[in-house]
Amino acid sequence: MATLKSRNIILLLTSLLSLLHLATSQRTPNENLVLADCGIGLGVNGGSTSREMIYYPGDVWTGNGADTNKPTMMVNVPWSGSYPWGQNGGVSARMPNGDVFTVHINPKIKDPIAAGDAWHMYEMNLPLKCYSYHKDKVYQLDDGKWCSSAYVCNHRGTPTPHVKPSPAPNPGPVPVTPSPPSGGAICDVLNN
């Protein structure tokens, strides 16, 4: 009977350890959150008509020119009297699945440099780095207005992980380096 209890305890501990690993591992390493300005030029004084947080579980861009993938979630960030992507204290919005994203951006940072961070409730311990990255026609709203990215937030170290770096140029032939003298006769013109 004591052996049965020991086996149950070992099974329970093994199960708890595997759950701990799942709890501490990242579930969304390729996610992207685009902070977008939509209807630019159509709003008051030529501004945007809406600001959106757009969520992609993977890459934003397909890798085929300026083509983008379809996002899985989006939420409007209402105007509060100041531009949301640079508000003191940041801005938060709830996605349709209940997840809340919070972003803190320094609007003085220019493309394509890291300008802030984003967090979401499902992985608070794994912030996304937000990069200033202004690209037109990232997403088209149902009303036909286009959204342009202002910031792209992810875990991947760049706003454009879909862009592959150019291959290194061919360095050409390797220069021949002469070998050191082998100890044989050395011609010394000064000793005639």
**What's the Cα-to-Cα distance from 149 to each of 74, 135, 139, 177, 183, rounded to whole Å?**
13, 5, 9, 52, 69
Mean pLDDT of 31-59: 95
Q: Are 118 and 33 in contact (CB under 8 A)?
A: yes
> In the beta sheet, which residues pair with residue 74?
54
Kindly state whether residue 181 falls inside one of the protein's structural domains. no
Kindly state whether residue 20 falls inside one of the protein's structural domains. no
pLDDT digits (tens, 9 = 90+) for 135-185: 999 999 999 999 999 999 999 988 887 665 555 555 555 555 444 444 443
Kindly state whether residue 61 falls inside one of the protein's structural domains. yes
**What's the Cα-to-Cα distance from 116 to each of 48, 76, 104, 129, rounded to whole Å?**
22, 20, 5, 6
Kindly state whether residue 192 falls inside one of the protein's structural domains. no
For residues 16 and 37, what is the distance between their CA atoms, to the nearest angstrom?
44
Q: What is the pLDDT of residue 13?
A: 54
With cut-offs at 50, 70 and 90, classify the pLDDT of residue 12: low
- The residues near 155 (Cβ < 8 Å, ≥ 6 apart) are 26, 28, 29, 30, 31, 126, 128, 129
Q: What is the DSSP letter of 161?
A: T
| Sequence-ordered strand ranges (E) for the chain | 32-38, 50-56, 73-76, 91-94, 100-105, 114-120, 128-140, 146-154
Kindly state whether residue 189 falls inside one of the protein's structural domains. no
Q: Is the pTM of this model over 0.75?
A: no
Kindly state whether residue 133 falls inside one of the protein's structural domains. yes
DSSP labels for 93-122? EE-TTS-EEEEEE-TTPPTTSEEEEEEEGG
Mean pLDDT of 6-12: 63
Kindly state whether residue 57 falls inside one of the protein's structural domains. yes
**16 membership: H or E segment, kind and range:** helix 2-24
Q: What is the pLDDT of residue 5?
A: 72
What is the total count of domains within the chain? 1
Kindly state whether residue 167 falls inside one of the protein's structural domains. no
Give the domain extent around 103.
26-154
Residue 11 has pLDDT above 60, yes or no: no
Query: 37-55 in b/e burial notation, b at 16+ Cβ within 10 A?
Result: bbbbeeeeeeebbbbbbbb
pLDDT digits (tens, 9 = 90+) for 52-73: 999 999 999 998 989 999 999 9
Written as six digits, the tokens of 177 are: 């380096």
